[in-house]
Each structure stands twice: as C-alpha cells, then as structure tokens.
Amino acid sequence: MNATQAIAKFRTCKTTGLRVFRNAEFFTKVNAVLAVVFLLVGAIAAIGLALTRWTAVHLLGSVYYYRMLTLHGVNMLVFWIIFMEMGILYFACTTLLNSRLFSKMLGWISLALMGIGALMTNYIILAGQADVLLTSYVPLKAHPMFYLGIILFAVGALIVCFNFFATLYIAKRDETYEGSMPLVTFGAMAAAIIAVLALAHGAAALIPTFMWSMGWIGPVDPGLYRLLWWGLGHMSQQINVCAMVSVWYFMGTMTTGAKPLNETVCRGAFLLYILFINLASAHHLLVDPGVGPGWKIWNTSYAMYLAVLASMIHGYTVPASLEVAQRRKGFTKGIFGWFSKLPWKDPGFSAVMLSIIIFGFMGGITGVTLGTEQINIIAHNTLRIPGHFHATVVGGTSLAFMGLAYYLVPLIFQKEFYLKGLARIQPYVFGGGIVVMSLGMSFAGSYGVPRRHWDVDFSGSILSAGFDPIAHVMLGLVGIGGIIAFLGLLLFIGLTVATVFFGRSNEGRPMESWQDEHSTRMKDELIEKGYEEEGKDYEHIKTPGTLTVVIIFLLTFAVYYFANWKALADLWFVR
C-alpha cells in the first residue's frame, strides 16, 4: 500500500476528501478539453443546420448543408460525447476507487490515436471528400481517410476501456477500497463493457468498408452494413445512457447529498443495460428489407424493453433519492415541498435535473414509441427521429455532462468560474432551446417532413411535392429553438474555456459552493454521514412526490403510445 502510494502521486481533494491521482487527473483534463473543442466544431455546424431547416431562412447551400450535417453528426455524437466519457472513465476508476491508473503509457497511446483519428476525420469532411453523413451507408463512398480516422479513434477508445478494466483489477488486487465499488464506478463499468461490444461491431462494419474504399475488396452488403453499423450506433447510445445515469447519481450526491435508496436495484438496472441492449440495433431496421417480423419483434421487445425497464427504474431512483435527501433536511411540507427547495440555482444541479426530465419525458417516451415495430412506419427517417435523439443525447446526456463540468472544473482543474450568474442560467437556456427544437422536429416529422433533407419544397424536382403550412411553422420552431440552444452552448463553452485557462485558482482550498451557506452545510452533513447510517436505512421514508411524478410519466407515456397506434391504424393497409 505504501509503496504504491509513493509511486502514484496524488493530492487530497479539499472538498470531498477523496484522493486525486495526478496521472489519471491529467488524462481526465485532456479528454475533457478535447471534448469541448469538438463540441465547438459541432456547435458551429449545428447553427448552420438549424437555420437551414428553418425554411424561411434556408441559410446554407445544398452542398454545405450535407457537409455540415456530416460534420455535426460526427463531432457531436462521436467526438464530444466519447472524449467526455473517456474523461469520466479515468476519474471513476481512480479517484473513486482510491487507486492509481494502471498505465500512463496506454493513456498516451490512446490519446494519440483518438486525437489523430478525430483530426483526420474532420479534415477529410471539411475537404469535401466525405459527404456521406455520420452513418456512411454503403454503397455511398467516402475517402478512405474518413473510415480510417474513425477506426483509429475507436481503437484509442478501446484502449482506454482496457486501461479502465486493468485499473479496476489492480485496485481490487491492492485492496485500495473495501467491499463493493461505488455505484458511480459500477455505472461507468457498465458503460465500458458496452463500449467494448459496440466497438467490436463498429470494427466489423467499418474495417471492410475501409478496405472496399481502398479497392482491396468487393462491395459490402448494404443490409449487413446497416445491421453492424447500428450495432455500433445503437450500443453507443447505451454507453451514453450508462454514463449519463452515472453522472445523475454522482451529481445527486454532490449537489444534495443524496444516497441511492437501494444499491441492489440501481446496480441491477445497470446490469439490465448490459444484458439486454445488444440486439436493439434492430429498432433501426424496422422497415428494412431482409429482416423478418419475428426477428424485429423479438429484438425490439425482448431485448429492448428490459433495457427500457432499466431506464424507468433509474428515472425513479434518482429523483427518489433526492426526495429522501431533501426530506431528511427537514423539507417535508406536502408532496412537493422538497422539490421547490432543491438547489435550482446550482448549475450542476439544474443541468442534471433538466437532463432527467428531458430524457425521461421527451427522449424516453418518443424513443420507445418510435422503436415499436409497426409504429416505425410513420416515423422512419422523418424529423421525428432527430426530434427524439436531441432529447436523449443532447437534452439528456450532453446536458448532464455540462452539469458535471460545473463541478469538474473547480474540483479537477481547480479553477473557479467567473460570471457565476451566467453559469446559473446556462442549463435553462440550453435545455429550453433543445426542448423547443426537439418539439419542432417531432411535430414536423409527424407530417412526414424528412430528416437529412435540404429542401422540403422540392424545387427543381420533376414531380412536385411539398408540405402543409403548419409543418413549415414547426420547422420555424426548429430554427428558433436551435438558436436558443446554440447560445446556451456557446455560453457553456465560453465559460468553461475561460475558467480552465484564466479562472481563479482554488488550490489548497475547498471549491466555492454554488449554493448558499445553509444548503451547502446541510448537503455536506449528509455526505459526511455517508454510509454510516446504513441499516437504519430508508425503509420507512416514503417518496410520495416522486411517485406522483412517475405515475404522471406513465400516463403520458401510455397516451402518446396509443395515440401513435391510432395514427398508424388510419394508414393504407400494408404487409
């Protein structure tokens, strides 16, 4: 124990008392910074897209629209999200387990691969040689460097996962912690396991495609490509969900002193993600040729609904743990007294709370409904799909990561934010914009407005086509929501970059709390009590507020779900 400590230099965090290991801390920082850099690239593309889909503005030309769409998809869904997740993995396996990082060397190698891969892909997209969109569906062909860049990036990410597992191993071996690992680390482990599976599918889809683009082998079957690519694409979303839920738990503790009600339930739900997500790539192929109804129904319901169950469980346990924490602080008035007393001005908290609400009420409900075999007929490739995933991966995951950043920067970079007033409103601006945009997309999509489409007036086509004026109003909402979200995003990037590079140092001191003295003291007391109270546990504490909310959620879900069946029933008959 002492020997390891001597080699592995660490500092003790003045806020949490946890040990921060210097070598892992470095990689957390670099990955987080790179994540924000690529977020900026994606954001610049995003505003172009939103203003192009707003038909009254129609900003970009067709070539640039498709190029920016490719740039946006790749930088946001791959580089921003995954760099951030790598930062989280480094943190979760070291500081939370009180262990050093397994290998600094591997850290460097993976960083180099991921950095080079991301630069290559961005370069070739901007050079105009890879206008194939994120999914690069064969036989659409990009320059080989496009596929190679993504493959290198993926190999780098795989190495980070390996480093993570090796660190879990040495931590266990050296007994740096007692008993089971903390829940947040467990969630991160679930993410890392799914990442390995996802990347294996990605390799199976992209390596042959790369070889085909080099002219080394014949064409790749487009149906098989879709199956494999979505093995990567869908599982990646499950990585995002695991990472996001881990952040929910982490921030729940950090901002309110909440403690999971029942570790078995929380961990069991993570386990469900690992076990039942593998075939959910099926829900991207629901109206494809080549796969039969039995396969589609089995893989959506059997595999997916148990993963859905997991999300519904977390969607209860996280707010319930907040409710219990609040009630223990004495906020017991009525059903929702605790709710109004939550630290809404703490951007770490508000971002996470908005993330829970947007992910659950918008992302979750639409996702399960659109992923229903038959209902997909009225949703496939319409704007309903981006409407759905901007509520999951943007309003959910990205917003949660932003909340995390409001604690990561003071704790890991040891810098204090300037302009805290702006930081406090940022989650509301970004979340609000995303909600408006996502609603606009979903409603436009229900008129059949396609995604990935430059001109819904179809000017220049031989046979005319077009949409109801209301659909154009909805596209206006996409533009307006997009502008608001863009401003929220710029605010986030500006604040974090300024703080990381020019913020006031808080080395040797605890971080300045985002909350007032009183609520800071109350949450710190709860955190200090920690697990000592185990046993006289929460069994007797009720969560009427959360129960009310989740029942409302279930009713909303059912109404939306059956309304979609109703809409489907009005269509022509098709088998």
Partner 1 sequence: MSIFSPVGNWFKAPTGTERLWVGLALTWCLIMSVTMPYWHFKGKQNSTGESYKVEASAFLDRANQFIESNKVGEEKGVPIVEPSPGGDAYLVGEMWRWYPILKLKKGQTYRLHISSPDLQHGFSLLPMNMNFHILPGYDHVLTITPTSTGDFEIICNEFCGIGHHMMTGKIIVE
Positions touching Cu ion (CB under 5 A) are 234
Options 139, 333, 516, 521; binder of partner 1; rule CB under 8 A: 139
Q: Are 474 and 436 in contact (CB under 8 A)?
A: no
Q: Helix/strand/coil (H, E, C) string of 170-218?
A: HHHHCCCCCCCCCHHHHHHHHHHHHHHHHHHHHHHHHHHHHHHHCCCCC
Task: Choose the contact partner of 234 out of ligand HEM, Cu ion, partner 1, none; CB within 5 to 8 A by kind.
Answer: Cu ion
Ranges within 68-87 binding ligand HEM (CB under 6 A): 69, 72-73, 76-77, 80-81
Quick one: which of 138, 140, 142, 137 has its CA closest to 122? 142
Ranges within 216-245 binding partner 1 (CB under 8 A): 221-223, 226
> Using the rule CB under 8 A, is 263 a contact of partner 1?
yes
DSSP helix/strand/coil, 59: coil
Which of the ranges 66-74, 168-176, 222-230, 364-372 carries the binding residues for ligand HEM, by CB under 6 A?
66-74
Which residues share a beta bridge with 10? 21
Options 100, 226, 384, 390; binder of ligand HEM; rule CB under 6 A: 390
Q: What's the Cα-to-Cα distance from 463 to each of 161, 454, 458, 470, 540, rounded to whole Å?
A: 52, 17, 9, 22, 67
Q: Are 323 and 545 in contact (CB under 8 A)?
A: yes
Options 277, 394, 409, 527; binder of ligand HEM; rule CB under 6 A: 394
> Using the rule CB under 8 A, is 302 a contact of partner 1?
yes
Ranges within 161-220 binding ligand HEM (CB under 6 A): none
> Using the rule CB under 8 A, is 250 a contact of partner 1?
yes
Which residues share a beta bridge with 211? none
Ranges within 351-380 binding ligand HEM (CB under 6 A): none
Ranges within 48-67 binding partner 1 (CB under 8 A): 62-63, 66
The CA-to-CA distance between both ends of the chain, in Å, stands at 66
Say which residues have a Cβ less than 8 Å from residue 370's Cβ, sequence separation at least 6.
283, 376, 379, 384, 385, 388
- Binding-residue pattern over the window 437 to 466 for partner 1, x denoting contact by CB under 8 A: ---------xxx-xxxxxxx-xxxxxxxxx
> Using the rule CB under 6 A, is 247 a contact of ligand HEM?
no
Task: Choose the contact partner of 398 out of partner 1, Cu ion, ligand HEM, none; CB within 5 to 8 A by kind.
Answer: ligand HEM
Q: What's the Cα-to-Cα distance from 552 to each of 266, 319, 411, 545, 546, rounded to whole Å?
A: 22, 14, 37, 11, 10
- Binding-residue pattern over the window 146 to 185 for partner 1, x denoting contact by CB under 8 A: -------------------------------xxxxxxxx-
Q: Kindly give the residue spans of alpha helices, DSSP state H, lying in 358-465.
A: 365-370, 384-389, 399-408, 420-446
Provide the 10 A C-beta neighbour count for residue 292: 8
- Binding-residue pattern over the window 436 to 475 for ligand HEM, x denoting contact by CB under 6 A: -x-------------xx-----------------------
Task: Choose the contact partner of 359 out of Cu ion, partner 1, ligand HEM, none; CB within 5 to 8 A by kind.
Answer: none
Of the pair 430, 557, the CB lying nearest partner 1 is at 557
Options 86, 133, 404, 435; binder of ligand HEM; rule CB under 6 A: 133
Options 265, 275, 419, 563; binder of partner 1; rule CB under 8 A: 265
Minimum separation from the CB atom of position 386 to ligand HEM (A): 4
DSSP per-residue string spanning 223-285: HHHHHHHHHHHHHHHHHHHHHHHHHHHHHHHHHH----S-HHHHHHHHHHHHHH-GGGGGGGS
Provide the 10 A C-beta neighbour count for residue 150: 25
Say which residues have a Cβ less than 8 Å from residue 469's Cβ, sequence separation at least 6.
none
**Interaction site with ligand HEM (CB under 6 A):** 43, 46, 49-50, 53, 69, 72-73, 76-77, 80-81, 133-134, 386, 390, 393-394, 398, 437, 451-452, 482, 485-486, 489
